[in-house]
């Protein structure tokens, strides 16, 4: 209820009380004028009315002093005030010793009896939540009707004969004679009270709240008893002329006061409590809630519970047992045991809750639903009850089943994947070790166990401890830590004291930017090293032994061509000798390449590093290859070679590199353009050789700078007329040993390539 509406109703109540007070003052003045207002004598018949007055005053003070100002509390307070006026007037009437005094106090009690049925009816409207926008108008009409009857009662003889001379003395005191019009206020009063009773009965029938049902029953009896008794003894009998019985309306009204007092003390009558709002609270809950007594008889259930149990209408009136919906005896026993010990607590505070994860509930239509039960036993306001929440877990179980199946499938897939992974790792010829962030071994294969000379299970062992017996020139644990710190893979050469050689490859295991561990692969390359060494020794010996006879052949063929003119007369002989001479030159070149590569790989080649000028070297190479340039129809351009700083290098090796690069450009370019350019960047001289020749395919680019590889269109074929395939390999080794490098800057098939050699500049002191 909003504040404006509450204020309006409060003003109506205040107006009613004010009018009653004005009427009281009027009658006081009226009686006082007779001068006999306080003529009293003791009369035992006045005691029931006095008791009612005292009870009503006590209740009125209780409701007035309560902080809550709800509509029903306001109207019950007005009702008690009118009942106080009625009881007080009748008490003083029976104590009066003169007709004038008795007549005055009778009129005062008439004020109370005319107002209290209206206030009681208005209370029933507020209590049963039947107030609406017509409520203020109804209030005004009913109160106005009460004041009309008060006027006819006090200023006319229609309802009672108000002549003191006609007052009759009975044992219970002076009473005036009933008039012909008394039937009208009596019908009006009884109609309001009957409507009040009907409204309360209907409210009790509709509500499922135990507390409200008991409260409403108290109001019904508190209204019904004085209505029936008062209508008979104070209305019908006087109208029928029966005056031998005393008026009992007020005596019976004491029952109303007693019942209200009992309700206040026993059931917290009209006290704001969560219990009063339980219907609304339960109706908006999405869970099924059932309230039962200590024997599991259903007292109340919300709509969700009715739908779950298949119950139509009010379950409380059917006296169903919740255990009837639990067909499983064990589940019913568990529920009964779980709530066997009552928890004494207020409705808002429970010391113990019982959770049953699953019970199957079978509805009246036979439909079974799995539910989770959360229950509490409460004891409050003189009754015990189980508050049981039934949560439908059908979807939860279905989801849980799906998740379980998915977990089983994923677990099986992971198990199979792990089995495949372990089998694959164990089948490796290389040793494999996987370590975590703390360098503890997570996974290893048989080859790694063999390398670490261990027959024990190394899973969980620190890598440092597991490799303690390995006598290598590198520390695996330190290297693994470095790989994790840098988050970069490393490839290392390891040599053991027993003469064996290993290649160790370590890579970090990353999840996003987080390092989970390190994977270590160890390969025994001892046999490969021995084979390579044997091959290198063979090439070295063979090349060395071949140089002497090849040099002799070259010299002899040169002398024959130059000093024997008879040869030139025979064209076929001249061709044979020329071909032999050229073949010897080619063989010498091949042998020299073999010897150079062998000496470079074994570190036996000597380098005489000294300040070297680049331009003279380039000029010499261009002069030596001028004939080859001309024969291929190529043009040569030199750029930026003037005023270059000197480099720290071996002049002969630099010339060998430049000659190799220019020779390659000439071989793969026909009728094109070749450029040699120089520049200085970052303390290094960059000498570039670019051509407009065939270019290099992506497949061939991967094999550059390797032994016996050429930039041909097919990586599986070789052109023996264009070299050994060792030129770039030797050139890169030469440049590296002098502190430089050779790179393929760019290339494009059909448009040419650019190779750059980098050499360090002479350091200025």
- The verdict on 233 and 381 lying in the same domain is no
* Distance separating alpha carbons of residues 209 and 300, to the nearest angstrom: 7
Residue % of the chain over a pLDDT of 70: 72
Crossing angle between the packed helical segments 183-206 and 135-155, to the nearest 10 degrees:
150
Residue 361 above 80 pLDDT?
A: yes
- The verdict on 246 and 296 lying in the same domain is no
- The verdict on 517 and 627 lying in the same domain is no
* Predicted pLDDT at 23: 55
Q: Is residue 143 part of a domain?
A: yes
Mean pLDDT to the nearest integer, 451-458: 75
- The verdict on 517 and 534 lying in the same domain is no
Q: Is residue 683 part of a domain?
A: yes
* Predicted pLDDT at 448: 81
Q: Is residue 415 part of a domain?
A: no
Burial 739-750 (b: 16+ CB within 10 A, else e): ebebbeeebeee
Q: What is the pTM of this model?
A: 0.38
Three-state secondary structure call for residue 481:
helix
Q: Is residue 409 part of a domain?
A: no
Contact by Cβ (8 Å): 115, 191: no
Q: Is residue 328 part of a domain?
A: yes
Please count the other Cβ atoms lying within 10 Å of the Cβ belonging to residue 214: 17
CATH code for the domain in which residue 569 is found: 1.10.287
Burial 350-376 (b: 16+ CB within 10 A, else e): eeeebebeebebbeeeeeebbbbbbbb
- The verdict on 40 and 148 lying in the same domain is yes
Range of the domain at 452: 428-522
CATH code for the domain in which residue 627 is found: 3.30.565.10
* Predicted pLDDT at 247: 61
Which positions ≥6 away from 695 have C-beta within 8 Å?
A: 747, 748, 749, 750, 751, 752, 753
Q: What is the phi/psi pair of residue 583, to 5°?
A: -65, -40
* Per-residue pLDDT band at 686 (split at 50, 70, 90): very high
Structure tokens at 484: 């994790």
* Distance separating alpha carbons of residues 516 and 513, to the nearest angstrom: 10
Instruction: Tell which phi-psi region holds residue 319, choosing left (phi > 0), alpha (psi between -120 and 50) or beta.
Output: left
- The verdict on 32 and 170 lying in the same domain is yes
- Where do we find the tokens 């561990």? 517
Residue 710 above 60 pLDDT?
A: no
* Apex 311 CA angle, 308 and 313, nearest 5: 130
**Distance of alpha carbon 659 from the chain centroid:** 70
* Per-residue pLDDT band at 146 (split at 50, 70, 90): confident
CATH code for the domain in which residue 315 is found: 3.30.450.20
**Distance of alpha carbon 611 from the chain centroid:** 71
Our count of domains for the chain comes to 5
Residue 90 above 70 pLDDT?
A: yes
Where a domain ends, among 272, 307, 334?
272
* Position with higher pLDDT, 275 vs 500: 500
* Distance separating alpha carbons of residues 162 and 276, to the nearest angstrom: 48
* Predicted pLDDT at 394: 86
Least confident piece of the model among 8-17, 163-172, 301-310, 614-623: 8-17
Three-state secondary structure call for residue 338:
helix
Please count the other Cβ atoms lying within 10 Å of the Cβ belonging to residue 402: 10
* Per-residue pLDDT band at 254 (split at 50, 70, 90): low
* Predicted pLDDT at 4: 47
- The verdict on 212 and 242 lying in the same domain is yes
Residue 217 above 50 pLDDT?
A: yes
Q: Is residue 67 part of a domain?
A: yes
Contact by Cβ (8 Å): 735, 601: no
Please count the other Cβ atoms lying within 10 Å of the Cβ belonging to residue 421: 12
Q: Which of 716, 707, 725 is nearest to 664 (CA)?
A: 725
- The verdict on 151 and 214 lying in the same domain is yes
Q: Is residue 641 part of a domain?
A: yes
Instruction: Determine the length of the chain.
Output: 765
Mean pLDDT to the nearest integer, 555-567: 73
* Position with higher pLDDT, 761 vs 237: 761
- The verdict on 267 and 282 lying in the same domain is no
Where a domain ends, among 372, 392, 412?
392
- The verdict on 249 and 297 lying in the same domain is no
Mean pLDDT to the nearest integer, 392-408: 87
Where a domain ends, among 230, 246, 272?
272
CATH code for the domain in which residue 172 is found: 1.20.1070.10
Please count the other Cβ atoms lying within 10 Å of the Cβ belonging to residue 588: 17
* DSSP secondary structure of 624-693: HTHHHHHHHT-EEEEES-TTPPPEEE-HHHHHHHHHHHHHHHHHT-SS-EEEEEEEEETTEEEEEEEE-S
* Predicted pLDDT at 724: 60
Q: Which of 325, 282, 277 is nearest to 304 (CA)?
A: 282
- The verdict on 454 and 585 lying in the same domain is no
Three-state secondary structure call for residue 503:
strand
- The verdict on 96 and 121 lying in the same domain is yes
Q: Is residue 240 part of a domain?
A: yes
Which positions ≥6 away from 538 have C-beta within 8 Å?
A: none
Which positions ≥6 away from 192 have C-beta within 8 Å?
A: 117, 118, 120, 121, 142
């Amino acid at each position: 209820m909003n504040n404006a509406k509450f204020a309006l109703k409060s003003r109506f109540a205040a107006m009613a009380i004010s009018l009653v007070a004005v009427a009281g003052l009027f009658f006081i003045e009226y009686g006082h004028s007779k001068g006999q207002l306080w003529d009293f004598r003791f009369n035992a018949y006045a005691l029931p009315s006095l008791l009612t007055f005292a009870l009503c005053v006590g209740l009125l003070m209780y409701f007035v002093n309560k902080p809550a100002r709800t509509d029903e509390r306001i109207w019950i307070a007005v009702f008690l005030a009118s009942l106080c006026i009625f009881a007080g007037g009748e008490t003083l009437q029976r104590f009066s010793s003169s007709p004038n005094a008795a007549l005055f106090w009778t009129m005062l009690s008439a004020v109370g009896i005319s107002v209290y049925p209206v206030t009681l009816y208005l209370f029933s409207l507020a209590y049963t939540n039947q107030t609406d926008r017509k409520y203020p108008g109804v209030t005004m009409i009913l109160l106005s009707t009460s004041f009309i009857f008060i006027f006819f009662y006090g200023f006319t003889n229609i309802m009672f004969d108000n002549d003191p001379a006609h007052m009759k003395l009975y044992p219970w005191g002076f009473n005036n004679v009933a008039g012909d019009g008394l039937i009208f206020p009596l019908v009006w009063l009884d109609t309001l009270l009957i409507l009040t009773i009907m409204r309360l009965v209907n409210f009790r029938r509709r509500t499922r709240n135990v507390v409200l049902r008991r409260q409403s029953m108290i109001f019904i009896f508190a209204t019904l008893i004085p209505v029936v008794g008062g209508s008979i003894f104070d209305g019908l009998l006087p109208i029928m002329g029966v005056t031998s019985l005393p008026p009992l309306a007020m005596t019976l009204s004491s029952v109303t006061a007693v019942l209200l007092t009992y309700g206040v003390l026993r059931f917290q009558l009209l006290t704001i409590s969560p219990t009063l709002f339980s219907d609304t609270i339960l109706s908006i809950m999405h869970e099924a809630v059932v309230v039962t007594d200590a024997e599991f008889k259903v007292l109340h259930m919300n709509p969700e519970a009715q739908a779950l149990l298949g119950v139509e209408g009010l379950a409380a009136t059917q006296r169903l047992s919740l255990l009837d919906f639990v067909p499983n005896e064990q589940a019913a026993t568990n529920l009964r045991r779980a709530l066997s010990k009552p928890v004494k607590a207020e409705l808002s505070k429970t010391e113990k809750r019982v959770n049953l994860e699953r019970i199957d509930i079978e509805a009246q239509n036979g439909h079974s639903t799995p539910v989770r039960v959360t229950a509490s036993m409460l004891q409050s306001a003189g009754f015990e009850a189980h508050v049981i929440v039934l949560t439908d877990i059908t979807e939860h179980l279905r989801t849980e089943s799906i998740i379980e199946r998915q977990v089983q499938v994923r677990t099986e897939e992971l198990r199979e994947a792990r089995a495949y992974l372990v089998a694959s790792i164990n089948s490796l010829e290389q040793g494999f070790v996987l370590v975590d962030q703390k360098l503890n071994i997570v996974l290893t294969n048989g080859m790694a166990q063999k390398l670490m000379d261990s027959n024990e299970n190394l899973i969980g062992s620190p890598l440092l401890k597991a490799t303690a017996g390995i006598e290598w020139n590198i520390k695996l644990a330190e290297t693994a830590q470095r790989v994790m710190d840098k988050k970069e893979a490393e490839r290392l050469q390891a040599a053991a004291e027993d003469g064996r050689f290993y290649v160790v490859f370590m890579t970090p295991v990353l999840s996003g930017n987080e390092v989970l561990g390190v994977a270590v692969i160890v390969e025994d390359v001892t046999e490969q090293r021995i084979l390579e060494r044997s091959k290198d020794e063979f090439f070295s010996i063979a090349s060395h032994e071949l140089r002497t006879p090849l040099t002799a052949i070259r010299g002899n063929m040169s002398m024959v061509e130059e000093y024997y003119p008879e040869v030139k007369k025979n064209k076929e002989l001249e061709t044979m000798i020329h071909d032999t001479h050229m073949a010897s030159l080619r063989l010498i070149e091949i042998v020299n390449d073999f010897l150079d590569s062998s000496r470079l790989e074994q570190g036996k080649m000597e380098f005489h590093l000294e300040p070297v000028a680049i331009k003279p070297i380039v000029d010499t190479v261009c002069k030596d290859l001028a004939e080859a340039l001309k024969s291929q129809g190529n043009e040569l351009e030199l750029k930026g070679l003037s005023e270059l700083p000197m480099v720290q290098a071996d002049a002969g090796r630099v010339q060998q590199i430049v000659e190799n690069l220019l020779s390659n450009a000439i071989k793969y370019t026909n009728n094109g353009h070749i450029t040699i350019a120089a520049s200085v960047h970052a303390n290094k001289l960059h000498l570039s050789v670019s051509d407009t020749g065939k270019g290099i395919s992506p497949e061939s680019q991967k094999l550059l700078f390797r032994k016996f590889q050429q930039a041909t269109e097919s990586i599986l074929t070789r052109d023996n007329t264009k070299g050994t395939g060792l030129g770039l390999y030797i050139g890169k080794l030469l440049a590296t040993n002098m502190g430089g490098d050779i790179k393929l800057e760019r290339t494009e098939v059909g448009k040419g390539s650019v190779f750059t050699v980098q050499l360090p500049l002479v350091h200025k002191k």
